[in-house]
Chains A and B, each alone.
Chain A
C-alpha cells in the first residue's frame, strides 16, 4: 500500500475520531477518546499491519494523553493514536498487550509512572520503580514534578 492508499484507508475511520491531523506527508495523528483506543490499535495492527513502536504517556493537566505510536514501514509513515483519558481520579484504559505482546513493558511502565490502569493486562506488576517506592505516587504526574 502506498501513502495515498494508506491515507484513504485511514480517512474511512475519520467519523469515529475526535481529530485527524497530518502535520507532514508521512506523519499522521488520529485522536480519540480512550474507550476507542483498543479498537483503533487493533485496526492499525491487524488491518493496516503497522508496526507498534511505543506509547508516550503525558499528564496534560485536565486529562492524560496516551500516544500509541506506530510505523508503517512500507511508506515510512509514523501514525500516532492520541487517546484522551479524562478520568483523573481513576484513569483506566483497555490493555493492548493481549493483542500485541510488544506493549507489555510500556503499559507496565506507564502504570508505574503515571498510574494508568490497564484493564486485562496479563502481568501488570512494577517494571521500573523500585520495590520500596511508595504506593500511589506517580513520578511523571504534574503534582510530583515541580
Chain B
C-alpha cells in the first residue's frame, strides 16, 4: 500500500479567542513552523455597497458609519468628501475643525482598544484593563459632543449635523489633559516592559518591500517604515492647520506596530487640543441642493489606515455606484508575507497586529428576496424542517407533539 504523508493543518477560527470576529485561517505546519496559510472570509456579509445604491445621498452617511462601529466617523467622512468633490462644495471652516476633532477622538479610542487587546492576546491582562479603562473617558467625550459613543452620525454633505458648543470646550480640554496623562503613563509602562519586548520584538516581521507590494496602509505600513498618512499626504478637514508628526518605525515587527499606535495616540491628543483652541466661529454646514453627474474619490486616514470611497452620480438623488474599501482589506492579506516561517504560537498575534476589522472588510453580498437565487423565508423553513426530519429519522427519534409537554 502506498503511504502518503499529509501535512498537518491547524484551523484558527471561524471563532477564535484571539480574533474578535468570524474568519477562518488554515495554517499548514511543519512541526512548529507555519509553511503556508490560507483564509476563508465572508461570514459577515451585509451588502453595504448595494444598499447604498438604494439610498439618497444624504442617507448614505448613516449606512456607511455602520460598516464598522470603531471607524464610524472615518467611513462617512471619506464618503462625504467624495460627494463634496462631485458637487464642488467646500464646507465651512468650523465644520472642518469639528470633523478633525471627532476623527482624532475616534483614533485615540481605537488605538487604546487595540493596545488593550494586544495586551490580552499575549496574556497580559493588566495592560488590557488599563487601556480600556483609559479609553472610557474618550467615549464619554464623544458622547458629550455627538450624542453617541459610536456611530456618531455627525458628518453630512456640506458640513456637520451638530456643532461643538463653545461652552463645553474648556471641559473637553480639561478631560484631554487627564487622558494625555494616563496615555503617557500607559505608553511608558508598555514600551518599558521587558516582557512585552521579549514577546513582541522580532515577531511577525513585514518587510518594507512586502509592505509596498501588499500596498498596506496605516500603522501596518508605518510600522514597516512606509511613512504614509492620508492626513499628511492629502490633507483634509483641518489637518493642514495643526502641528503634528507622522510616526513611523522601520522594524516591521509587532512591537513596531505597537510603538506606532501608542505614539500616534499622543499625536492625536495634540491635534484635538490644537483644533479645540483654534476652533473658528461660524456655521457648521451649508445647504447642498443637488449632486451633479460625476465621479468622486474620497480618502481619509482611519485608525487602521486609508479608508477609500468611490462615488458615481448620474445627477439623480442616489449614487449609481458606491465602492468602499476599508484598510483591513489590504492589511489582512499581508499575512502571507508576515506569518509564513513563523512559529505557530506567534501567528495569531501577528494576525492581530494589523488590527484587523472583518466587519469592514466584508460588505458585499446581496440579499435579495425577489430573485430566484436566494431562498425566501418559506423555502428556508421548509429546508430546516426537512433537515430536522432527516436527522430524527437517522436517530430514530420519536414524533414530537406540543401537547405532550
Residues of A within 8 A of B (CB): 23-24, 26-27, 29, 51-54, 56, 58, 67, 69, 71, 73-78, 80, 100-102, 104-106, 109, 113, 127-130, 133-134, 137, 139-140, 144-146
Within 8 A of A (CB), among B156-199: none
Please tell me if the beta carbons of B42 and A129 are within 8 angstroms of each other in the complex.
Answer: yes
Cross-chain pairs A/B with CB under 8 angstroms, 12 sampled: A29-B295, A52-B330, A78-B297, A104-B333, A105-B333, A106-B329, A128-B364, A130-B42, A134-B373, A139-B368, A140-B366, A146-B368
Residue from B228, B230, B321, B373 whose CB has the most chain A CB atoms within 10 Å: B321
**4 more A-B contacts (CB under 8 A) besides A54-B308, A71-B299, A102-B333?**
A26-B234, A71-B234, A71-B306, A139-B368
Q: Which residues of A contact B217 (CB under 8 A)?
A: 51
Please tell me if the beta carbons of A140 and B50 are within 8 angstroms of each other in the complex.
Answer: yes
**Alpha-carbon gap, A24 to B299, bound state (A):** 14
B391 at the interface (CB under 8 A from A): no
B213 at the interface (CB under 8 A from A): yes
Q: Which residues of B contact A140 (CB under 8 A)?
A: 49-50, 364, 366
**Alpha-carbon gap, A127 to B216, bound state (A):** 19
B214 at the interface (CB under 8 A from A): yes
Within 8 A of A (CB), among B77-132: 85
Please tell me if the beta carbons of B323 and A102 are within 8 angstroms of each other in the complex.
Answer: no
Q: Which residues of A contact B373 (CB under 8 A)?
A: 133-134, 137, 139, 144
A-B interface, 9 closest residue pairs, ranked by CB to CB distance from nearest: A76-B234, A102-B215, A139-B366, A54-B325, A56-B323, A128-B42, A52-B215, A73-B233, A76-B233
Q: How far is the CB of A11 from chain B (nearest CB, A)?
A: 20
Q: How far is the CB of B88 from chain A (nearest CB, A)?
A: 9
CB-based nearest B residue for A28: B297
**Alpha-carbon gap, A54 to B50, bound state (A):** 17
- Total A-B pairs in contact (CB under 8 Å)? 109
Q: How far is the CB of B143 from chain A (nearest CB, A)?
A: 33
Please tell me if the beta carbons of B365 and A102 are within 8 angstroms of each other in the complex.
Answer: no
Q: How far is the CB of A85 from chain B (nearest CB, A)?
A: 15
Please tell me if the beta carbons of A128 and B50 are within 8 angstroms of each other in the complex.
Answer: no
How many B residues are at the interface, by size bracket? Answer: 35 or more
Please tell me if the beta carbons of A69 and B362 are within 8 angstroms of each other in the complex.
Answer: no
With A53-B306, A139-B366 known to touch, is A76 a contact of B215 (CB < 8 Å)?
no
Q: How far is the CB of B70 from chain A (nearest CB, A)?
A: 20
Please tell me if the beta carbons of B370 and A146 are within 8 angstroms of each other in the complex.
Answer: yes
B310 at the interface (CB under 8 A from A): yes
Q: Which residues of B contact A128 (CB under 8 A)?
A: 41-42, 45, 362, 364-365
Q: How far is the CB of A59 from chain B (nearest CB, A)?
A: 9
Please tell me if the beta carbons of A101 and B321 are within 8 angstroms of each other in the complex.
Answer: no
B304 at the interface (CB under 8 A from A): no
With A100-B213, A144-B373 known to touch, is A58 a contact of B364 (CB < 8 Å)?
no
With A53-B215, A73-B228, A144-B371 known to touch, is A102 a contact of B330 (CB < 8 Å)?
yes
**Alpha-carbon gap, A101 to B53, bound state (A):** 30
**Alpha-carbon gap, A68 to B312, bound state (A):** 15
**Alpha-carbon gap, A133 to B312, bound state (A):** 28
Q: Which residues of A contact B308 (CB under 8 A)?
A: 53-54, 69
**Alpha-carbon gap, A52 to B228, bound state (A):** 13
B315 at the interface (CB under 8 A from A): no
Partner of B329, one of A67, A100, A105, A137: A105
Partner of B41, one of A23, A104, A127, A145: A127
B202 at the interface (CB under 8 A from A): no
Q: Which residues of A contact B316 (CB under 8 A)?
A: none
Please tell me if the beta carbons of B365 and A139 are within 8 angstroms of each other in the complex.
Answer: yes
Q: How far is the CB of A6 from chain B (nearest CB, A)?
A: 13
Q: Which residues of A contact B366 (CB under 8 A)?
A: 139-140, 144-145
Please tell me if the beta carbons of B50 and A100 are within 8 angstroms of each other in the complex.
Answer: no
Within 8 A of A (CB), among B202-223: 212-217
CB-based nearest A residue for B298: A78
B147 at the interface (CB under 8 A from A): no
Please tell me if the beta carbons of B295 and A23 are within 8 angstroms of each other in the complex.
Answer: yes
Within 8 A of A (CB), among B287-308: 294-295, 297, 299, 306, 308
Please tell me if the beta carbons of A53 and B370 are within 8 angstroms of each other in the complex.
Answer: no
**Alpha-carbon gap, A145 to B216, bound state (A):** 32
Q: Which residues of A contact B364 (CB under 8 A)?
A: 109, 113, 128, 139-140
With A24-B85, A130-B42 known to touch, is A145 a contact of B50 (CB < 8 Å)?
yes
Q: How far is the CB of A137 from chain B (nearest CB, A)?
A: 5
Please tell me if the beta carbons of A27 and B85 are within 8 angstroms of each other in the complex.
Answer: yes
Q: Which residues of B contact A23 (CB under 8 A)?
A: 85, 294-295
Q: Which residues of B contact A104 (CB under 8 A)?
A: 333
Q: How far is the CB of B42 from chain A (nearest CB, A)?
A: 4
CB-based nearest B residue for A133: B373
